[in-house]
Amino acid sequence: MFLEYCFMKNIDDKKLRAIGKRINDLRIEKRMSIQELADKANIERSNLSRISTKGSNFTLLTLLKIITALECEPNDIIL
């Protein structure tokens, strides 16, 4: 399911915002600040902020870094 989702050609803004919201929800559940998650994922805080609040477009590598940093499974974010 995860890889099928990642290779879809028509990922619209609504889906990106849903993924961003889920990332934000998981971050809050784990009691992490945006800066803590960004540091753990080795990405810029501003980039993480755009992803989690605006559903900004992101690379598969960035998504995998966030998943690893949150210590969750891809389906925890994609579903």
- Confidence category of residue 46, pLDDT binned at 50, 70, 90: very high
Could you tell me the pLDDT band of residue 67, with boundaries at 50, 70 and 90? very high
Give, in order, the Cα–Cα distances in Å from 45 to each of 5, 12, 36, 69, 75: 25, 23, 9, 13, 23
Residue 52 has pLDDT above 80, yes or no: yes
**Complete domains list, the chain, with CATH:** 12-78 (1.10.260.40)
CB burial readout 16-36, b (16+ within 10 A) else e: bbebbebbbebbeeeebebee
Q: How confident is the model at residue 2 (pLDDT cuts 50, 70, 90)?
A: low
In tens, the pLDDT along 3-44 reads 555 555 566 778 888 999 999 999 999 999 999 999 999 999
- Number of Cβ within 10 Å of residue 11's Cβ equals 13
Rounded CA gap, 54 and 50, in Å? 5
